[in-house]
Chain A
Amino acid sequence: MNFKLKIWRQPNAKTRGKLADYEARDISPNTSFLEMLDILNENLLARGEEPIAFDSDCREGICGTCSLTIDGEAHGPDHPGAVCELYMRKFRDGATITVEPFRVRPFPIIKDLVIDRRALDRIVQAGGFISARAGSAPEANSIPIPKHDADLAMEAAACIGCGACAAACPNGSAMLFAAAKISHLSLLPQGNPERVRRVLKMVHVMDAEGFGNCTNTYECEAVCPAEISASFIAKLNREHARAAIQRGAGE
């Protein structure tokens, strides 16, 4: 298969970037999208041009490192799945494909297609945890948790932290990311003691980092490789309202 590629090149955060034209020829349909970029990079190297910088690590859709917008869609056309799980057989032979980084204001571009997503870490640092000192945990089966709650918590906890939700959102909102963590932890009895503090702090940091608000476009859910349901955003809103009232009432 042959493809025409338009790929975002940007030497660093301070310099302006632009789309550059490339060609990929004789690509097997069983090549993954990232392997196609590997091949292109080998060709660039042979010509003495600097390879295109892009991020990836596990290449099996779980680490959340890869972060490309392909033809305007976060993680490309094959949902659900991260871009590392996208294969060239999903494209038409001869197609022109545009490749850009995730574009979200709190994710500055480092180089070419590589972005800095540490804003997501800072949201978790604000309270996305249960304080449990090693050594002080009670026996694991001492608190039974209904299977339904545990399964629902797992659905939320499956988030891979890639940031595609924010990239797909017209408002650049990270609500799905924050909602997944807040829902996961508040569905479990162990998460209850810090429930109020957690949601207030995480939402505060999320706003401070410059992420936008949710206006229910559901773009996040559509691109999420972990199939996190947007209904968790509703849960986040309930958690936040509940916490704000409790805090307001001085509880």
Chain B
Amino acid sequence: MIGTLDARIPHGPLDQKWRSHRDHSRLVSPNNRRKFEVIIVGSGLAGGSAAATLGELGYRVKCFCFQDSPRRAHSIAAQGGINAAKNYQNDGDSVYRLFHDTIKGGDFRSREANVYRLAEVANLIIDQCVEQGVPFAREYGGLLANRSFGGAQVSRTFYARGQTGQQLLLGCYQALCRQIDAGTVQMFPYTEMLDLVIADGHAKGIITRCLRSGKIEKHAGDAVVLATGGYGNVFYLSTNARGSNVTATYRAYKKGALFANPSFTQIHPTCIPVSGEHQSKLTLMSESLRNDGRVWVPKRKEDCKKPPAEIPEADRDYYLERKYPSYGNLAPRDISSRAAKEVCDEGRGVGPGGRGVYLDFADAIKRIGEDTIRERYGNLFEVYEKITGEDGYKMPMRIYPAVHYTMGGLWVDYNLMSNVPGLFVIGEANFSDHGANRLGASALMQGLADGYFILPYTLPNYLAGQMGRRPSADSPEFQEAESEVRGRIKKMLDVDGNRSLDSIHRELGLLLWDKCGMSRHAKGLHEALVKIAELREQFWNNVRVLGKDEDFNQSLERAGRVADFLEFAELMCTDALERNESCGAHFREEYQTPDGEALRDDENYAAVFAWEFQGRNGQIVPPKLHHEPLHFETVHLTQRSYK
């Protein structure tokens, strides 16, 4: 059965919606704000900025993160930059253009109203961050510098060296520290959310485990905000931090929150390839390298083992330049990634296991000299050398796509509230703004837009009707959720089998990478669904988790996360199977144009797929699908072409 979802998008012209929505939202007066407790899970750009802003407004905020400090959230690793339509370059940028580029980049699978609002508030973010002391790059005249990024014809990206995420996060962390000092925000580091508590149909609390002591705690609040990031680690190997996980959003899903477009995963084309079976994570090499590097593989399989210098020009296939002459090596992320996979599938990949392509700077060095290349990308060459032990100036780098970002997430309406009243979801954890493919430099924009400038308006609209409705943390709903959490932990420790967590997680990752990665087809997805269920059996019958519950126990932490990934993987494959079209990062091999490009089906699939959990008593049964049709009033749907 299929239900239809209402995103509560305000009426009126696109550029008036947010303003009129703010004008008519309910408010909470200053002296009433301290009567509300807001639970925020996650302290990255979205969670940290929301906690700092709501604290400053006078709400009592409890903010939770699993790291030892909020400053370590994975937002810190973002390199490239943050978009805004300031038009400082006088090159024709506008809010409309930023909106249009973002919605087109997402292959027309996101909401017009949300994306337009994102583009509108982006300028405020830059103002806010500069005022906080974020040391953005500047020109000699002292004004802010910009650079260009994929999917845009203007220079609108603000950056702080290759460490933009770090600097934005530290700005937001410092704002959070100020509120902690002021007593409006209470910080719970080393604390993981293990369940959502729903009372009278509203999200009113969470169950947590302190990772240092193992203590299980109950926290009641007037609203719960999830800002827990993406789930790329379901693939085991990704550019995400080791701790990033799906647990908070997945457990909210199991309590009734809808999970939207879970199969939309961004696979970034330029990462350092896997070097061995013990590799624990993948490292991104900034996309900017493709400005000067040329991507190629040998034309013939036999040449793949030869040193690259011995392969003459005529025997090299510069496949991006060949297939996409107008964009060449700067073709967008989804398309470049698929092209790399294709040549490797043909057996023409290079390096260990044949999963790699060359990124060659020899021509650029000849043209502009090694010094100029060093000036532009020196730090990236150093990172490459540290990890691979190879000198990218002397021989071509090897790169391969890797899982990087997840566009899918919990379903939210225009207010960023899920279908469960009182449960708000912000940042990468929600699904709302990037459609089927995210453009570079817009993840940071979305996280901060949600936390600084959207949630502080939409949350009070909900809270205003909730005065005095916060239940006690000792009420039966909390006790029940706590005992569920305890039962689950005990069950994991009791298995006492022979297989290590990592071996199960690795196997799951390889399976997903193969069947639900850069390209998918129905047969493979069906196979994956069978194998995921088998792996889950393996886990619950044969996993070995040592140590105690009430203790610092890293194996137990990870076991809980892997258990959730093993269920979530099934949801991803189900979603990929249901969407019988190709769009953005979701490439179904059955649906392609004659020349192998993604073939969208706007008539039947211009919609968000939001899944409702149906299992009971530990049983996993197929979830129920809800549709949110996407209405395009302003933009014209076109086939993306980069030829």
Which of these, A51, A140, A150, contacts B546 with CB under 8 Å? A51
Name the A residues within 8 Å of B476 (CB-CB): none
Structural contact, B279 and A125, CB atoms closer than 8 A: no
Structural contact, B76 and A63, CB atoms closer than 8 A: yes
Q: How far is the CA of A176 from the CA of B181 in the complex (A)?
A: 22
**B268-296 vs A: 1/0 string, CB under 8 Å?**
00000001101111011000000000000
B residues 546-573 in Cβ contact with A at 8 Å: 546-547, 551-552, 554-555
Given contacts A137-B131, A140-B86, contact A87 B387 (CB under 8 A): yes
**B67-105 vs A: 1/0 string, CB under 8 Å?**
111111010110000000010100000000000000000
Structural contact, B174 and A141, CB atoms closer than 8 A: no
**B166 at the binding interface (Cβ < 8 Å):** yes
B residues 121-158 in Cβ contact with A at 8 Å: 124, 126-133, 135-144
Name the A residues within 8 Å of B74 (CB-CB): 57-58, 63
Given contacts A28-B276, A110-B552, A124-B177, contact A57 B72 (CB under 8 A): yes
Which of these, A58, A78, A130, A150, contacts B131 with CB under 8 Å? A130
Structural contact, A134 and B387, CB atoms closer than 8 A: no
Structural contact, B546 and A117, CB atoms closer than 8 A: no
Structural contact, B389 and A139, CB atoms closer than 8 A: no
Q: How far is the CA of A139 from the CA of B127 in the complex (A)?
A: 5
Given contacts A116-B68, A121-B71, A134-B128, contact A150 B389 (CB under 8 A): no
Closest residue to B277 on the A side, CB-wise? A28
**B284-317 vs A: 1/0 string, CB under 8 Å?**
1000000000000000000000000000000000
Closest residue to A44 on the B side, CB-wise? B546
**B342-362 vs A: 1/0 string, CB under 8 Å?**
000000000000000000000
Interface-centre pick from B174, B383, B500 (highest chain A CB count, 10 A): B174
Q: How far is the CB of B367 from chain A (nearest CB, A)?
A: 28
Structural contact, A30 and B71, CB atoms closer than 8 A: no
Given contacts A50-B546, A129-B175, A150-B137, contact A45 B500 (CB under 8 A): yes
Name the A residues within 8 Å of B24 (CB-CB): none
Closest residue to A32 on the B side, CB-wise? B280
Name the B residues within 8 Å of A65 (CB-CB): 67-68, 72
Q: How large is the interface on B (under 10, 10 to 19, 20 to 34, 35 or more residues)?
A: 35 or more
Structural contact, A132 and B72, CB atoms closer than 8 A: no
Structural contact, B138 and A150, CB atoms closer than 8 A: yes
Name the A residues within 8 Å of B547 (CB-CB): 50
Structural contact, B128 and A35, CB atoms closer than 8 A: no
**B241 at the binding interface (Cβ < 8 Å):** yes
Name the B residues within 8 Å of A50 (CB-CB): 546-547
**B178 at the binding interface (Cβ < 8 Å):** yes
Name the A residues within 8 Å of B242 (CB-CB): 56-59
Structural contact, B456 and A147, CB atoms closer than 8 A: no
B residues 149-196 in Cβ contact with A at 8 Å: 160-161, 163, 166-167, 170, 173-175, 177-178, 180-181, 187, 189
**B36-50 vs A: 1/0 string, CB under 8 Å?**
000000000000010
**A210 at the binding interface (Cβ < 8 Å):** no
Structural contact, A134 and B133, CB atoms closer than 8 A: no
**B377 at the binding interface (Cβ < 8 Å):** no
**B388 at the binding interface (Cβ < 8 Å):** yes
Closest residue to A139 on the B side, CB-wise? B127
Interface-centre pick from A59, A131, A160 (highest chain B CB count, 10 A): A59
Structural contact, B130 and A31, CB atoms closer than 8 A: no
Name the A residues within 8 Å of B69 (CB-CB): 117-118, 120-121, 161
Closest residue to A29 on the B side, CB-wise? B389
**A240 at the binding interface (Cβ < 8 Å):** no
Name the A residues within 8 Å of B386 (CB-CB): 78, 81, 85, 87
Q: How far is the CA of A139 from the CA of B136 in the complex (A)?
A: 14
Q: How far is the CA of A210 from the CA of B124 in the complex (A)?
A: 40
Closest residue to B284 on the A side, CB-wise? A60
**A224 at the binding interface (Cβ < 8 Å):** no
**A48 at the binding interface (Cβ < 8 Å):** yes
**A72 at the binding interface (Cβ < 8 Å):** no
B residues 362-412 in Cβ contact with A at 8 Å: 383, 386-389
Closest residue to A60 on the B side, CB-wise? B283
Name the B residues within 8 Å of A128 (CB-CB): 174, 177
Name the A residues within 8 Å of B129 (CB-CB): 140
- Chain A interface (Cβ < 8 Å from any Cβ of B): 12, 28-32, 34-35, 38-39, 42, 45-46, 48-51, 53, 55-60, 62-65, 78, 81, 85, 87, 89, 110-111, 114, 116-118, 120-121, 124-141, 144-147, 150-151, 153-154, 157-158, 160-161, 184-185, 188, 190-191
- Chain B interface (Cβ < 8 Å from any Cβ of A): 49, 52-53, 56, 67-72, 74, 76-77, 86, 88, 124, 126-133, 135-144, 160-161, 163, 166-167, 170, 173-175, 177-178, 180-181, 187, 189, 212, 241-243, 275-276, 278-281, 283-284, 383, 386-389, 452-453, 456, 500, 502-503, 544, 546-547, 551-552, 554-555
Ranked nearest first, the 10 interchain pairs of A and B with the lowest CB-CB distance are A144-B142, A129-B174, A137-B131, A154-B135, A132-B131, A137-B127, A57-B241, A153-B135, A140-B130, A125-B177
CB pairs A–B below 8 angstroms (7 shown): A34-B280, A38-B278, A58-B74, A87-B386, A110-B552, A118-B189, A124-B173
